[in-house]
Structure 1
């Protein structure tokens, strides 16, 4: 899904400030082995985009490595190829490997197009001059998206660099059959949530399936507790280091998490999120907090109708359930990619309601972003996702998309320490370390 270990070609950490300084100086066919591992930086290489022929062919670098998502993306590329006349070859890499190598990949020999994330993770590479602006594409597709989607697709320089495809909510999933048989009700408040978790524990269930072997999943738990306790503005200020990590608000987040930790599945740092989702599907666990893009996609089609969710309960009445993580994914045009003219034709098609409708005929867990989207295949999870995201006053993009890569990397390690030892002493140590690292990272 996502991993923040992104570094420059020389190995030096890349920060928000250094990236923006760089910006100021710059005015489905077959699935093949990915070039990501072989790609490496070349400072002498020409960074001018290769316009090439608008007939292609092009290659599409993809991190959609899970079988279900890979199939949906392959269908989209096949449709795009048919509509544009461009031959598209998809190069798929393991999800985490893709993100771990993205910086070297973009500086080396990238594909014509690549999957990526909206928001700061997009701005970060646009500011380094590694992406081609696609304002000309947006002149044709701009009417298909609302202002929120447009803003998430822009770099810090105001130019467009992404065509968004979908987003998805981070919520608390459960099996309807388990709740019905046990007489459980979806909690609205923190106290009700904790009481439900305690009841599940008494009933012999793991209250919350939980995994963090990949490092990023637990960032979502921090995010939602922060959003519920301190609100969206505080979350964004913390991500920019406008609030210190030693602040009491951060302590409050970890204190709530410490209260919750006794109900989370043990050994999370050694477990993948896929295994945690299977514990929920197999009814060994009562609930799981994660994105629909993971949990629903991991369910077998036969069991998907039993899946349901509720938004994470309110903690601070001042913020209620006004916010959530709802990451947006889409496609970017690497500066060094070949046949940019053909790639832009494909992006122009992907940014249409027709393309999103086609994608969602196979994808049964994400929700499309294009205006005029016709989604007759939306299941109950997708319909509810649309409704709950629409209720939010604001949505965040997830910690490793909202802060600089090095800070996200630091928090992954520190949160894993907390998972292993959720004590007051650990919290104090984590906060001090986070603040010390933030001062260094954000001073560059």
Structure 2
């Protein structure tokens, strides 16, 4: 979704870092364009056990170069293994992954933690990594292990990076205008009203691809109704026509007048640029919003968790999607795949990747964070101090429900916020068919 679907790591069109140019100079890593082109079914037929195939969904140039550099470093110390990278455009990767996993997938492949990982693990389409976790478990917190664990209590995922959602803003604009971080919804409305009077777009907004709207729904739902109701609703255990859900949309309706107009015709990058250009006062998005900021402006970017709505739940939940890797059910090179996954769990490649994409943080809890920017440190602390972590709507629910019912329902609401009942009935009816 988007730069992808919040399920993954973003990437804008920024200049390559000098470090990457050096690391990639003369790189012999192959990169192909078809998702199934380098699947494990035929990857090792000519090269024996010396080739590991790697399915990559980081198709934008900056993260693509960063993960390529990390893989190149693995090759240099792998005892003769080489890696063939199979890069697919992010949204196409997500759309095709079901067929991909049932065909001849790559030995190691990019995906998302939580529900999305369990969805395929439950179908027996990915490899059991429990033995590997016996080696790498010390690299991760209990929360990250839980997010990597399937319904059968086995591990199927290796976390790589993580980022947080929140309200992003430019410090210089707020200092100039005398704005303060709102602690409650009423304070947020008062701040947005002041921004509007000051000639700013209070809240930048984009919904052309649907998924950014999911982030707004998530924040409002777990702030109003709490973490458990939120995850149960997305798992099909609660009713979309419940009054609690209607309250979410009523609250959203209250905020809509402060959102950037014509959001459904705008990409997230365009909305982020209005924040960078000091035309907008805030933007509710993932930390990848910083990818639309030139290096000279990055230090001016800050954020705060979405403010409290219901004192019962405060701000105890943070949306912090986890990106990482799975293994094919039957990799052509199981030993090589395990070695590559073990390497990706270590601090070195995660920190190397973050030099090119400093909007995320490492998942390895032993990673040296002294080189983090102030924004990265704040993201890391926010995640660490959260009582509950969510992945993002399209990662926390059935893929079919996310791509159809949720996307279409949220777009319909933004088009006609006065017809909430019809929107929720449509979502509830589709949920009944999907979550049987």
Contact 1:52 1:341 in 2 (8 A): no
TM superposition shift of 1:340: 2.4
Among 367, 375, 385, the alignment partner of 1:381 is 375
Contact 2:41 2:332 in 1 (8 A): no
Partner secondary structure for residue 368 of structure 2: coil
After TM superposition, the structure 1 = structure 2 runs for residues 45-444 of structure 1, keeping only pairs within 5 Å, are: 56-85=50-79, 86-292=81-287, 294-409=288-403, 410-423=405-418, 426-443=419-436
Render the CA deviation track for 1:85-131: whole Å, top value 9, x for unaligned: 32123222221111111111212232221111001100111122211
CA change 1:61–1:98 in 2 (3 A) is same
Please name the residue that 1:10 is paired with: none
Q: How many residues align?
A: 412
Contact 1:312 1:321 in 2 (8 A): yes
Q: Where in structure 1 are there 5+ consecutive unaligned residues?
A: 5-27, 41-45
Measure, in 2, the Cα distance between the counterparts of 1:54 and 1:304: 46
TM superposition shift of 1:61: 1.4
TM superposition shift of 1:67: 2.4
TM superposition shift of 1:188: 0.9
Measure, in 1, the Cα distance between the counterparts of 2:52 and 2:44: 11
TM superposition shift of 1:358: 2.8
Measure, in 2, the Cα distance between the counterparts of 1:413 and 1:177: 37
CA change 1:246–1:407 in 2 (3 A) is same
CA change 1:29–1:95 in 2 (3 A) is farther
Measure, in 2, the Cα distance between the counterparts of 1:175 and 1:78: 36
Structure 1 stretches (4+) deviating beyond 3 angstroms? 1-4, 28-31, 37-40, 46-55
TM superposition shift of 1:389: 1.3
Partner secondary structure for residue 75 of structure 2: helix
Q: Where in structure 2 are there 5+ consecutive unaligned residues?
A: 7-26
Please name the residue that 1:36 is paired with: 35
Contact 2:369 2:377 in 1 (8 A): no
TM superposition shift of 1:54: 8.7
Q: TM-score, normalised by structure 1?
A: 0.88
TM superposition shift of 1:408: 1.3
Question: Does 260-269 or 229-238 show the bigger shift?
Answer: 260-269
Question: Does 249-258 or 432-441 show the bigger shift?
Answer: 432-441
Contact 2:41 2:105 in 1 (8 A): no
Partner secondary structure for residue 279 of structure 1: helix
Partner secondary structure for residue 84 of structure 1: coil
Partner secondary structure for residue 361 of structure 1: helix
Q: TM-score, normalised by structure 2?
A: 0.89
CA change 1:179–1:241 in 2 (3 A) is same
Question: Does 77-86 or 412-421 show the bigger shift?
Answer: 77-86
Question: Does 249-258 or 81-90 show the bigger shift?
Answer: 81-90
Contact 1:47 1:335 in 2 (8 A): no
TM superposition shift of 1:170: 0.5
TM superposition shift of 1:413: 0.6
Render the CA deviation track for 1:9-44: whole Å, top value 9, x for unaligned: xxxxxxxxxxxxxxxxxxx8546332227799xxxx
CA change 1:50–1:132 in 2 (3 A) is farther
CA RMSD, aligned part only?
A: 2.4
Measure, in 1, the Cα distance between the counterparts of 2:45 and 2:252: 51
Measure, in 2, the Cα distance between the counterparts of 1:357 and 1:146: 17
Contact 2:42 2:332 in 1 (8 A): no
